[in-house]
Each structure stands twice: as structure tokens, then as C-alpha cells.
């Protein structure tokens, strides 16, 4: 076996804002990797092994068992707070997941389509009134998912600047532990107040609905914090980065415009190609044979979702954005028991948001050089800080 690589490759190739770090392709299917705290664990980069790890209950999602793969992170990761589903294992995880599954079904989320369309139209009206140029992130990509998740949960959108700022700190890989802790506490306290208010006088929304479940105040406030965070930043970055990708691939955009009926497939391909939630991790609970190597109990395995989604063994010509390809089976929304709970909601939002934007502004284009679009290079969620557009 070759020597461990000295750390997780994080630098994207110059001039290719949508491509993963080039080294990842050379590291398939898995390699030993030194973590910033000195731990020697693993990095998996093939589609097959990433899925294998995520589907295997011998690998734990508990944060406190893992070593942090990004530089500048904590030496010890604190356990998930109550209500944070991604950092717990079954059966604790099953209890939350079962409670929520029925509330996030395909059918329920499709019923939201009309409301999402109204939200998009309102934002686009404002954009049109204000005129070009504009920053698509603040004018459209952020408000659409934020308004949607706020309505679904019953969180006042008027406070969006506060929670969007705190969520950005939480997903940053360069924010210190202290800042992240403070952001989490602030968001939790905000949700806690809200949960207490919903218990006193329920309204017609998910948080009020969940006050009738067996979750206590701490669990429900934590769950609300987590859902709000998970539901805003991710989809916002998909809408902004997806638009950026479409505007810089005019032939693909042209084909999409010719037949909006293919938008569902286009959204899957954008999810695969952009893989905005680029990296995950698990900790081995026991010795596990993986891809012909022995992963020992206690070792951390980093799963590169972005490398898996660019694996040529699974997706031919993986570095090409091809909106007509059948991209199902990608791992952009995870895999296994932690696969994204909000995926149907995210799909509905994107399937509505892209056509609404591109139909309203048929001449939409970047207002700056593609090279000058500010990328989020220090975040667990890839995206852009701003997207100057004109029409």
C-alpha cells in the first residue's frame, strides 16, 4: 500500500469553478489520508465505495467518533445536538426519521409546487422592477428556498438576515469553533423561543404540527434549527451555482429552453455535476474490509461525494455537463439512512426556480467575467458568494 496522502485535496482547478480538485480523480477508489489532527484514516473517491460506506451500519455518523478532514478544524468534534439527524445512528436516528418521513413525502412536497411558483414569481417581479444588473444570490437564489422553508416550518421570514448569517458561519470550514458554537447557540435559542410560542398557540405549520409528537422542547428546537439550516443554504447554492453553470454552458441552456419538459432530468444532472455538498465522513465501529483494504475500528473514512459523482466507471464523460444524461444514482443528496430528507422539497424548488428565472429573463447573462464570480471556497457547501447578472 502506498504512503498516506498528507491531507484532503481542496483546491479546485484554476478556471473551472464547477470541477472538484483534480487530485481526487487520481486517488480512486480509496487511499489512506493523514487528517489535520494527525489521525491516519481514509479517503474514498469511487462511486461504488462511497455508496458502500454510506449504506453500511458498521460505519457510524456520530460526529464525536470522527476526525475532522478539513484543515483548521477542531481536534475533537462535539456530539450532534439533539435534533441534528446527520450526526446520530440508528435506532436514535430512526425515531426522528420516522417522525419526519411522512411530512416530507413526494406527494406533500409536490403540493407545494404552486406556492413555490408564486414565491419565485414575486421575487422575479421585484428583480424586474429594480432592473439590471443585480446579484442573483440575494435577489433570487437565497430568498426562494428561505421563504419556502420558513413557510413550511412556521419561522418568520422577517428574521432571515439573522438566520442566513448564522447558517453561513455553521457551514464555513474556516470559521473557528468559538464562532460556530456561538452561531449554533444563537440559532438554537431563536428556535427555542419559537417552539415555546407554538406550544402556547399553534399555527398551521410543521413546527406546530410537531409539538403534538413525543419530542421534548430541546429536541424540537434542535430539529427546527437543523431543518432551517439544512433547507436554506443548500438549495440557495444549487440555484445560484446552477444558474452560473447554465449561463456558461449556452448550448446546454439552449437545449433546455427548447424543451422544458426535460427539466427534471436537468436538475438531477446539475445536482451530480455540481455536487455542492461535496464531502462527508463516517467512523468505522469495527474492522471493515473495504475495496480490498482493511479499515480498522476507530478510523475515519472521508467520503468525497463530488469525486464519486465524477467517477467515469459510473458516469461516462463525467466532467461534461450533459443535461440529457440519466444522472439518477448520483450521491449529491447522500445515500443510505441519512440520504437527504428534504430532497423532494429541493427538487420541487429547483424544477420551478430555473425555468421561472430563465423564462422571465430570456437574455439573462453574467454581468462580470466568469473568472470574477466570487466562489465559496471555504465552505462545506460549494457555491458562489454573489452572482452578478444582467438582461
Residues that bind ligand HEM (CB under 6 A): 61, 85-86, 97, 227, 230-231, 234-235, 238, 276-277, 280, 332-334, 338, 340-342, 345-346
CA angle centred on 281, ends 276 and 287, rounded to 5°: 150
Q: Which is nearer to ligand HEM, 247 or 267 (CB)?
A: 267
CA angle centred on 174, ends 169 and 180, rounded to 5°: 35
CB 272, min distance to ligand HEM, A: 10
State how far the Cα of 75 lies from the Cα of 177, in Å rounded to an integer: 10
Q: Which is nearer to ligand HEM, 239 or 366 (CB)?
A: 239
Q: Which is nearer to ligand HEM, 194 or 345 (CB)?
A: 345
CB 1, min distance to ligand HEM, A: 27
CB 336, min distance to ligand HEM, A: 7
- Residue 235, Cβ density class (10 Å: 0-12 exposed, 13-18 middle, ≥19 buried): buried
CB 84, min distance to ligand HEM, A: 8
Q: Which is nearer to ligand HEM, 28 or 382 (CB)?
A: 382
Residue nearest to ligand HEM (CB): 342
| C-alpha cell of residue 381 | 457547501
CB 372, min distance to ligand HEM, A: 25
CB 334, min distance to ligand HEM, A: 3
State how far the Cα of 125 lies from the Cα of 133, in Å rounded to an integer: 14
Q: Which is nearer to ligand HEM, 150 or 341 (CB)?
A: 341
Q: Are 95 and 213 in contact (CB under 8 A)?
A: no
Closest to 35 (Cα-Cα) out of 81, 77, 85:
77
Query: Cα separations (Å) of 303 from 75, 149, 194, 230, 377?
Result: 19, 28, 35, 19, 18
Q: Which is nearer to ligand HEM, 46 or 235 (CB)?
A: 235
Closest to 329 (Cα-Cα) out of 51, 105, 28:
51
User: Looking up cell 459523482, which residue turns up?
Assistant: 309
Amino acid at each position: 500500500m502506498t504512503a498516506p496522502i498528507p491531507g484532503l485535496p481542496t483546491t479546485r482547478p484554476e478556471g473551472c469553478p464547477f470541477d472538484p480538485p483534480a487530485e481526487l480523480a487520481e486517488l480512486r477508489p480509496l487511499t489512506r489520508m493523514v487528517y489535520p489532527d494527525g489521525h491516519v484514516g481514509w479517503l474514498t473517491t469511487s462511486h461504488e465505495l462511497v455508496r458502500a460506506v454510506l449504506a453500511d451500519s458498521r460505519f457510524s455518523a456520530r460526529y464525536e467518533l470522527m476526525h475532522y478532514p478539513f484543515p483548521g478544524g477542531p481536534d475533537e468534534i462535539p456530539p450532534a445536538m439533539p435534533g441534528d439527524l446527520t450526526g446520530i445512528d440508528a435506532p436514535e436516528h430512526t425515531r426522528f426519521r420516522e417522525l419526519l418521513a411522512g411530512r416530507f413525502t413526494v406527494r406533500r412536497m409536490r403540493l407545494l409546487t404552486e406556492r413555490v411558483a408564486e414565491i419565485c414569481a414575486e421575487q422575479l417581479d421585484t428583480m424586474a422592477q429594480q432592473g439590471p444588473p443585480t446579484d442573483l444570490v440575494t435577489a433570487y437564489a437565497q430568498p426562494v428556498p428561505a421563504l419556502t422553508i420558513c413557510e413550511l416550518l412556521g419561522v418568520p421570514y422577517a428574521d432571515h438576515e439573522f438566520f442566513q448569517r448564522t447558517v453561513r458561519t455553521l457551514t464555513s470550514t474556516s470559521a473557528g469553533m468559538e464562532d460556530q458554537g456561538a452561531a449554533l447557540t444563537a440559532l438554537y435559542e431563536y428556535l427555542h423561543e419559537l417552539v415555546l410560542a407554538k406550544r402556547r398557540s399553534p399555527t398551521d405549520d410543521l413546527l406546530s404540527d410537531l409539538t403534538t409528537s413525543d419530542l421534548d422542547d430541546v429536541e424540537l428546537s434542535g430539529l427546527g434549527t437543523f431543518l432551517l439550516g439544512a433547507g436554506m443554504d443548500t438549495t440557495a447554492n444549487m440555484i445560484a451555482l446552477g444558474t452560473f453553470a447554465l449561463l456558461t454552458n449556452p448550448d446546454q441552456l439552449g437545449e433546455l429552453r427548447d424543451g422544458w419538459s426535460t427539466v427534471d432530468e436537468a436538475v438531477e444532472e446539475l445536482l451530480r455535476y455540481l455536487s455542492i455538498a461535496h464531502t462527508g465522513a463516517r467512523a468505522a465501529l469495527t474492522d471493515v474490509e473495504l475495496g480490498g483494504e482493511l479499515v480498522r475500528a476507530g478510523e475515519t473514512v472521508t467520503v468525497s461525494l463530488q469525486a464519486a459523482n465524477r467517477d467515469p466507471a459510473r458516469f461516462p464523460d463525467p466532467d461534461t455537463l450533459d443535461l440529457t444524461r440519466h444522472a439518477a444514482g448520483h450521491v449529491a443528496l447522500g445515500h443510505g439512512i441519512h440520504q437527504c430528507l428534504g430532497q423532494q422539497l429541493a427538487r420541487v424548488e429547483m424544477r420551478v426556480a430555473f425555468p421561472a428565472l430563465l423564462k422571465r429573463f430570456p437574455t439573462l447573462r453574467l454581468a462580470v467575467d466568469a473568472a470574477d464570480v466570487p466562489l465559496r471556497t471555504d465552505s462545506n457547501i460549494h457555491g458562489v458568494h454573489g452572482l452578478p447578472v444582467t438582461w
